[in-house]
Amino acid sequence: MYDDILLPTDGDESMDNVYAHTLDLAQRHDATVHILYVIDDRAFLTLASDVVDNVVSELEATGEEATTIALDRIESGDVEATAAIRRGNPAEEIIDYIEREDIDIVTMGTHGSNYQENMVGSVSARVVADAPVPVLTVNVNGSDE
């Protein structure tokens, strides 16, 4: 049923619960996990052009570290995994990746009841609303609320 699972990551240290759910799902279905980090280039609109290159380099390094951590965690469970870094609007890039890579399900973290995210719309909320596949959201706040 699930051959390819997408695990978007932002490099947040609180992803342990998401990794655990993804790993369990992948092991049960003998699935490949696709780890995706998206550099949000919308923030670059207000930066001077000479600063953008430095910021992109820093964000690429953050993405490399985030995907390496996720790869290590997933592969430690004897699950096949691959990683990619993209640049753009995170929700749009995640949806595009789902369609291009024929993803069957997405597992991603959410901050649950965070008031500001609920008011302006979080990446996970947009993905849940727009994804053509099921999306499993896992609260990363450390509580079960």
- Look over the chain and give the mean of its residue pLDDT values, rounded to a whole number: 88
pLDDT of 135 over the 90 cut: yes
> Cβ atoms within 10 A of the Cβ of 44, count?
16
Count CB-CB contacts under 10 A for residue 25. Answer: 19
Please enumerate in sequence order all residues whose Cβ is within 8 A of that of 94, keeping only pairs 6 or more positions apart, or say none. Answer: 6, 8, 36, 38, 106, 108, 123, 127, 131
* pLDDT tens, position by position, 79-101: 999 999 999 999 999 999 999 99
What's the pLDDT at 119? 40
- How far is residue 140's CA from residue 29's CA, in Å, rounded to a whole number? 24
Whether pLDDT at 114 is above 60: no
Domain boundaries, the chain: 4-139
Instruction: Copy the structure tokens of residue 101.
Output: 């890579």
Q: H/E/C letters for each residue in 97-135?
A: HHHHCCCCEEEEEECCCCHHHHHHCCHHHHHHHHCCCCE
At residue 98, what is the residue type? I
Structure-model confidence comparison of residues 130 and 41, the more confident one = 130
Residue 11: both structure tokens together? 């490099």
Please say whether the structural domain 4-139 has been given the CATH code 3.30.590.10: no
pLDDT at 10: 86
Confidence of residue 12 (pLDDT cuts 50, 70, 90): confident
Residue 22 has pLDDT above 50, yes or no: yes
